[in-house]
Amino acid sequence: MSDVTPADESQRAKALVDVGRIMAAGSLTIGSIMLTVFGFVERSIGFERLASDKRLAIVALLPGVAAFAFLVCARSIGSIYDTLVPARPYSVIRRAGLRAMDLAGAYGLFAAIISALVAVSTGLAVALYLPDIGRDAMLAASAAAIASFFIALLGMLTRGTRFRLICDASMVAVIVVVMMLDWVS
C-alpha cells in the first residue's frame, strides 16, 4: 500500500512545476546574457577575429554555453507540460500533434522562439570553430542549427523517451566536442 495521498501528489506536482518555471526563467536569462555579451564583443572585434584569435577563445565559447542554457529552458518547459498534462494513449506522432495543438498560442510561440535560440547559438558555436568563413563553413553551421532546432522542438513536443535522450545527448556531445576543439586548437 502506498502512503501517498492525492493531496501529497498535488503538492508534488505543484512543486515540480515551480522548479521547472525557475529553471526555465534562470536558464533563459543566462542564455540571453551569454548571447548579448557575445554580440557586444563580436560587434567591437569582428567575427573573423573571434574565430581565429586564440586569445579570445573564452568569448568564442559563449554561444555554446548559451545553447546549453536554452536547451535546459526547453527541457524545463517540456517537463512542466509533462507534469500538468497526463499522458495520452496514442501513437507518438499523434501525441506530438496533439501536444503541438496544446502549445498553440503564446506557449507555442515561446517553444518556437526557444528552439530558434538553441539553433542560433549552436550555429554560432559551430561557425566559430571552423577555420574559414566560407560557403562550406556556412553550410555546416546551418546544418547544425537546423538539427538543433528540431532536437529542441522535439523535446517540447514529446515526452521523455530513450530516443529523445539520445538526441539530447548527441547534441550536447557535438557542442562540447566543437567547443573543446575550438579551445585547444
Instruction: With a cut of 50, list the residues of the chain below it in pLDDT.
Output: 1
- 136 falls within a domain: yes
Range of the domain at 104: 6-184
For residue 41, give the H/E element and its range. Answer: helix 6-45
Residue with the three cell numbers 512543486: 15
* Separation CA 51–CA 53 (nearest Å): 6
- 152 falls within a domain: yes
Contact 121, 103 (CB under 8 A): no
- CA dihedral (119, 122, 124, 129) in degrees, to 10, reads -150
Mind listing the pLDDT tens digit for each residue in 122-176? 888 888 777 666 777 788 888 888 988 988 887 777 777 788 788 888 888 887 8
Angle at alpha carbon of residue 36, lines to 145 and 171, rounded to 5° = 30
- 169 falls within a domain: yes
Instruction: Evaluate if pTM is beyond 0.85.
Output: no
